[in-house]
């Protein structure tokens, strides 16, 4: 076994394991395991937000009177189980224990399986309450509170204590065998992880320091930002210490979350290496599969009357669950095989298995999205969750998209034209409200100080009408249902609008733009016939801060996280977040950095720059033939530069990234990089080939970056900058220079992938000599002393 860093080898005895029979279970967990029966029924029912839920419960309590008890902690032992939870409220005048559910709409719209679950929870609270208060009977009331109308519907029934005791005993007996199995698994898992060996012969340079920092973060329950360069072995270097920390610091689960699919594959490979020496399925690893990949019947509703894999889902779930936990490792393919063998939906089976896994591998949206499954389960089941976020430099942009939403007016008009009569009136009213809003907008882009009240009312009415329609017609799958989801998302974002977001209007829409002041594409034909109303999240910290605070520990790592205040302030990380900046895993001399001082890639200088750029690329290729990547700010600039190089040097092979490349085209692009190959590949900075691409050794020996990576010059960009200035003060660079330099460093990181690699990096813009640019790029690049080149023509 490789010697562990002192921080990972604890100088104390491991704590004794808890007895197998000592298992604590929440009321919710107990009831969800034992009371769910019948079909999967995922009809969309609009739910209240957490804030609305708390406000609704508070309002119900106020209506009950001053002697009304709220948030009553309850706990009891039932055989080997300790059952605990909090009852919402007790009205002593009516001797009535209440469970308050905040909803939007009428309780009749709630699927039957969900109502049965609500009653099971309330009956369990009733049994615990009778025990605690010595009652022979109690009235139980399910109170459904509609946040829209502020009205209540109460479903009330009186139960004897003996009847409630019998129901509790049955549920605990049903759960008891599973609980004993899970306690035994936890003991075996923790014992195995105490002896977990590092899977490689030795730590790489810097990898040991990274592992020690991750372990300290988990031990102290803190947050860490780790800037670790390519080649250091970040995946194993973060997973290994966190797995070692699990048994010693009471960590229930580890989540390895990524912003790109390539990171998930690397994590699964590392977990295979780490688990190779563990006995049996002592570590359960589950891939969290997105719905568009896990759904077998996307043309059907998630309802037993529509989808054959939803009918009887909860009746067949127990057998599949038993088989799943015995397998240990469940990637997407294994989940699909298991689910179809039992006649279950692979996607929803995976969601059910999340609570029984030890390590979860998936996208960041599972935790950070407003409806993220991990966030909901962690709160409900009181998990101690430790999180690793790979390629975390992408998290700011990903989180912004999670908390942004757009409503296209042409989509709205189309939905209104094709809607049934019951909802067409509400959609037509929303169309008129949107057109009135647009009529007051003079410029092609305008950020409004507030959303007009009339538009908000029309939006809420239309969203409620669509919700009611699809509750009455749950099997209708098609374009209107897709629009329904879009409208609900947009309405929620309007409700949460604050200083963290802009509400803006675009009346002349084009295709997504490039960078450095260039906007790609032409306006959509028809002038202002289509427009977009957008809630544009600028600073997602307001949404994420509470999530980071609730985690046991979190490590965000990437090769490009500097400056740390960018992530801390925009993501809402704790103020005591630790920072580590690890040196490269190879000598600085392995990467030869050159700056072409005589080149300007500013928008106004693009045409004049082409001859000089082609000359630099050709000169480097002649001096050191091999495979190169050349990055540009936009497809237009890329295509013109490639054409100029082809005219200057038709003998140099070249290939280009194209707009909207599919998976097959991307694979063909990368297949051109061969060990004996020679040529120049043209790509867009910030695109799919600028990060997450691994081309070690002779597959890639150099890169040219012909842009500073700045965002387009636009009124929108000015408004984003102004809002960030209002939140954080001026001079931060959060709107432009910081993310631009992160993109540059990511692209440059394609060149050296292992400590043995050698390569060249050309920065083709005179602005790379500016002090404010140099200070945001790696110090080991030594830009101040980097050789200048006059970029003379090469023939």
Higher pLDDT, 235 or 790: 235
Confidence tier at 792 by pLDDT (50, 70, 90): very low
Task: Find the range with the poorest average confidence among 18-27, 34-43, 58-67.
Answer: 18-27
Distance CA 682, CA 691 (A): 14
Beta bridge partners of 201: none
In the predicted structure, residue 100 carries a pLDDT above the cut 60: yes
In sign, the C-alpha dihedral spanning 695, 696, 702, 704 is positive
Residues 293 and 332 sit within 8 Å (Cβ to Cβ): yes
Tell me how far apart the alpha carbons of residues 613 and 319 are, in angstroms, rounded to a whole number. Answer: 64
Q: How far apart are CA 679 and CA 650, in angstroms?
A: 11
Query: Would you say residue 526 has pLDDT above 60?
Result: no
The predicted model gives 122-144 an average pLDDT of 96
Closest CA to 530 of 619, 442, 409: 409
391 φ/ψ sector (left φ>0, alpha ψ -120 to 50, else beta): left
> In sequence order, which residues have a C-beta less than 8 Å from that of residue 87 and are 6 or more positions away?
71, 72, 74, 97, 98, 99, 125, 128, 129
Output phi, psi for 482, to 5 deg: -60, -40
Across 240-245, average pLDDT: 97
Q: pLDDT at residue 18 above 80?
A: no
Mean pLDDT of 108-130: 91
Q: Which pLDDT belongs to residue 17?
A: 42
Q: How far apart are CA 530 and CA 286, in angstroms?
A: 43
pLDDT of residue 521: 34
pLDDT in tens, 705-715: 999 999 988 99
Q: In terms of Cα–Cα distance, which of 184, 181, 366 is closest to 286?
A: 366
SS3 label, residue 143: strand
> Is the separation of the CB atoms in 385 and 310 below 8 Å?
no
In degrees to the nearest 10, what's the CA dihedral of 376, 47, 259, 563? -80
Two tokens, residue 355: 């609570």
Per DSSP, what are the bridge partners of residue 533? 407, 505
Confidence (pLDDT) at 234 = 93
Contact 252, 18 (CB under 8 A): no
Q: For 163-177, 208-222, 299-313, 365-379, which range has the lowest pLDDT when averaged over its residues?
A: 299-313
**Is residue 29 over pLDDT 50?**
yes
pLDDT value of residue 65: 87
Is 614:641 a contact under the CB 8 Å cutoff? yes
Which of the four pLDDT bands, split at 50, 70 and 90, describes residue 786? low
Average pLDDT over residues 234-255: 96
Closest to 369 (Cα-Cα) out of 547, 577, 494, 553 = 547
pTM above 0.75, yes or no: yes
Q: What is the per-residue pLDDT for 511? A: 43
SS3 514: coil
Q: Please, which residues have CB within 8 angstroms of residue 243's CB and are 6 or more apart in sequence?
A: 193, 196, 254, 274, 283, 359
Q: How far is CA 657 from CA 95, 684, 719, in A?
A: 71, 7, 31
Alpha carbons within 13 A on the beta-carbon side of 542: 15
Token couple for 726: 């209002």
For 665, the enclosing helix (H) or strand (E) is helix 663-671
Which pair of tokens denotes residue 145?
A: 């509170």
Q: Is the pLDDT of residue 13 over 50?
A: no
627 neighbors 699 (Cβ within 8 angstroms): yes
Strand partners for 257: 362, 389
> Percentages helix, strand, coil for the chain, rounded to the nearest 5?
45, 20, 35
Whether the CB-CB separation of 391 and 228 falls below 8 Å is answered with no
Across the range 591-601, mean pLDDT stands at 91
Instruction: Give the percent of the chain with pLDDT over 90.
Output: 74
Asked if 155 contacts 141 with a C-beta cutoff of 8 angstroms, the reply is yes
Nearest by Cα to 24 from 78, 86, 72, 71: 78
- CA 529 vs. chain centroid, Å, equals 34
Tokens at 180, concatenated: 């004993």
Per residue, what are the HEC states of 230-294? CCCCHHHHHHHHHHHHCCCCCCCEEEEEECCHHHHHHHHHHHHHHHCCCCCCCCCEEECCCHHHH
Please name the residue that has the structure tokens 């009471």: 250
Average pLDDT over residues 557-566: 95
How large is the average pLDDT for residues 141-148? 89
Tell me the pLDDT tens digit for each residue of 635-689: 999 999 999 999 999 999 999 999 989 889 999 999 999 999 999 999 999 999 9
Q: Which positions ≥6 away from 627 have C-beta within 8 Å?
A: 673, 674, 677, 678, 679, 681, 695, 698, 699, 700, 701
171/176 Cα distance (integer angstroms) = 8
Decide: 168 and 127 in contact? Cβ < 8 Å: yes
Q: Is residue 174 within 8 Å of residue 133, measured between CB atoms? A: no
The pLDDT assigned to 50 comes to 66
Token pair of 23 as six digits? 């298992």
Read off φ and ψ for residue 360, nearest 5 degrees: -115, 130
Does the structure show a pLDDT above 50 at 154? yes
Write the DSSP assignment of 415-464 as a string of letters: HHHHS-HHHHHHHHHHHHHHHHHHHT--SSEEEESS--HHHHHHHHHHHH
Residue 223 Cα to chain centre, angstroms: 17
Nearest CA to 316 among 29, 40, 28, 119? 40
More confident: 580 or 756: 580
- Residues ≥6 apart with Cβ < 8 Å to 664: none
Q: What is the pLDDT of residue 793?
A: 34
Q: Omega before 563 cis (within 30°)?
A: yes
Asked if residue 747 has pLDDT above 50, the reply is: yes
Q: Token digits for 143?
A: 């109170």
- Kindly tell me if the per-residue pLDDT of 699 is higher than 60: yes
Q: Are 635 and 643 in contact (CB under 8 A)?
A: no
DSSP string covering 619-663, please? HHHHHS-SEEEEEESSHHHHHHHHHHHHHH-TTS-EEE--TT--H
- Name which residue leads in pLDDT, 359 or 507: 359
More confident site: 107 or 412: 412
pLDDT at residue 475, as a whole number: 61
Cα radius of gyration (the chain): 29
pLDDT at 524 over 70: no
pLDDT band at residue 47 under the 50/70/90 scheme: low
User: Is the separation of the CB atoms in 492 and 459 below 8 Å?
Assistant: no
pLDDT at 515 over 90: no
Tokens 């500016």, located at residue: 770
Q: What is the pLDDT of residue 16?
A: 42
Looking at residue 301, its pLDDT comes to 82
Query: Which residue from 215, 210, 218 is spatially nearest to 235, judged by alpha carbons?
Result: 210
Mean of pLDDT values over 223-231: 92
- Does the structure show a pLDDT above 50 at 170? yes
Q: Span 515-544, mean pLDDT?
A: 68
Work out the pLDDT band at 784, boundaries 50, 70, 90: low
Q: Is the pLDDT of residue 5 over 80?
A: no
DSSP designation for 5: P
| DSSP per position, 61-127 | HHHH-TT-EEEEEEEEEETTEEEEEEEEEEETTTTEEEEEEEESS-GGGS-HHHHHHHHHHHHHHHH
Predicted confidence band of residue 788 (pLDDT cuts 50, 70, 90): low
Cβ-contact 515, 686 below 8 angstroms: yes
**Distance in angstroms (rounded) separating the CA atoms of residues 665 and 80:** 58
pLDDT of residue 305: 84
Read off the pLDDT of each residue in 181-203 and give the average, rounded to a whole number: 93
């Amino acid at each position: 076994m490789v010697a562990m860093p002192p921080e990972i080898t604890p100088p104390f005895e491991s704590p004794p394991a808890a007895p197998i029979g000592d298992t604590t279970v929440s009321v919710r967990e107990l009831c969800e395991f034992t009371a769910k029966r019948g079909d999967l029924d995922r009809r969309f029912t609009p739910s209240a937000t957490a804030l609305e839920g708390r406000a609704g419960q508070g309002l119900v309590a106020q209506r009950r009177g001053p002697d009304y008890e709220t948030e009553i902690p309850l706990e009891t032992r039932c055989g080997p189980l300790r059952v605990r939870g909090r009852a919402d409220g007790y009205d002593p005048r009516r001797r009535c224990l209440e469970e308050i559910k905040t909803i939007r709409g009428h309780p009749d719209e709630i699927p039957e399986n969900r109502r049965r679950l609500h009653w099971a929870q309330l009956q369990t609270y009733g049994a615990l309450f009778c025990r605690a208060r010595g009652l022979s009977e109690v009235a139980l009331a399910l109170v459904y509170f509609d946040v829209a109308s502020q009205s209540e519907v109460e479903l009330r029934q009186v139960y004897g204590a003996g009847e409630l005791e019998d129901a509790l005993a049955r549920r605990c007996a049903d759960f008891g065998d599973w609980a004993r199995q899970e306690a035994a698994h936890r003991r075996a898992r923790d014992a195995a992880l105490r002896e977990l060996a590092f899977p490689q012969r030795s730590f790489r340079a810097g990898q040991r320091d990274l592992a020690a920092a991750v372990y300290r973060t988990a031990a102290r329950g803190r947050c860490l930002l780790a800037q670790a360069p390519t080649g250091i072995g970040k995946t194993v270097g973060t997973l290994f210490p966190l797995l070692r920390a699990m048994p010693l610091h009471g960590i229930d689960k580890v989540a390895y979350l990524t912003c790109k699919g390539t990171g998930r594959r690397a994590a699964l490979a590392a977990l295979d290496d780490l688990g190779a020496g563990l006995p049996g399925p002592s570590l359960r690893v589950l891939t969290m599969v997105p719905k568009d990949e896990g759904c077998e019947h996307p043309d059907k509703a998630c309802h037993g009357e529509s989808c054959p894999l939803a009918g009887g889902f909860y009746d067949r779930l127990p057998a599949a669950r038993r088989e799943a936990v015995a397998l240990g490792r469940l990637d997407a393919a294994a989940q699909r095989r298991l689910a179809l063998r039992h006649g279950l939906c692979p996607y929803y089976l995976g969601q059910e298995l999340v609570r029984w896994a030890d390590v979860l591998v998936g996208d960041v949206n599972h935790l950070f999205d407003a409806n993220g499954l991990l966030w909901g389960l962690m709160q409900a089941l009181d998990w101690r969750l430790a999180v690793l976020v790979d390629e975390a430099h992408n998290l700011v942009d990903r989180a912004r998209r999670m908390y942004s939403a757009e409503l296209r007016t042409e989509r709205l008009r189309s939905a209104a034209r094709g809607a049934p009569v019951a909802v067409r009136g509400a959609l037509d009213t929303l169309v008129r409200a949107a057109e009135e809003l647009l009529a007051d907008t003079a410029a092609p882009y305008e950020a409004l100080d507030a959303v007009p009240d009339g538009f908000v009312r029309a939006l809420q009415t239309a969203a409620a009408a669509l919700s009611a329609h699809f509750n009455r017609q749950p099997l209708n799958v098609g374009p209107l249902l897709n629009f329904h989801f879009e409208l609900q998302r947009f309405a929620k974002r309007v409700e949460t609008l604050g200083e963290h977001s802009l509400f803006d209007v675009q009346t002349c829409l084009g295709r997504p733009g490039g960078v450095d002041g260039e906007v790609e594409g032409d306006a959509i034909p028809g002038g202002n016939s289509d427009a977009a109303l957008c809630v544009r999240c600028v600073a997602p910290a307001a949404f994420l801060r509470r999530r980071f605070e609730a985690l046991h520990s979190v490590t965000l790592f990437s090769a490009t996280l500097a400056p740390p205040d960018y992530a801390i302030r925009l993501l809402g990380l704790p103020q005591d977040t630790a920072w580590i900046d690890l040196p490269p895993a190879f000598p600085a001399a392995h990467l030869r950095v050159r700056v072409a001082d005589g080149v300007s890639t500013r928008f106004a200088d693009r045409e004049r720059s082409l001859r000089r750029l082609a000359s630099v690329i050709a000169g480097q290729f002649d001096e050191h033939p091999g495979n190169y990547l050349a990055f540009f700010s936009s497809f237009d600039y890329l295509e013109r530069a490639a054409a100029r190089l082809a005219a200057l040097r038709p003998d140099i092979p070249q290939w280009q990234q194209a707009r909207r490349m599919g998976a097959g085209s991307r694979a063909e692009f990368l297949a051109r990089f061969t060990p004996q190959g020679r040529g120049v590949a043209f790509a867009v900075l910030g695109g799919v080939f600028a990060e997450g691409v691994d081309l070690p050794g002779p597959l890639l020996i150099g890169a040219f970056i012909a842009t500073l990576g700045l965002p387009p010059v636009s009124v929108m960009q000015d408004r984003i900058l102004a809002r960030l200035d209002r939140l954080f003060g001026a001079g931060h660079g959060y709107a432009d220079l910081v993310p631009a330099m992160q993109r540059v460093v990511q692209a440059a990181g394609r060149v050296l992938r292992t400590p043995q690699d050698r390569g060249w990096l050309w920065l083709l813009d005179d602005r790379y000599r500016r002090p404010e640019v140099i200070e945001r790029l790696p110090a080991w690049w030594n830009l101040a002393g980097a050789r200048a080149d006059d970029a003379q023509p090469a023939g």
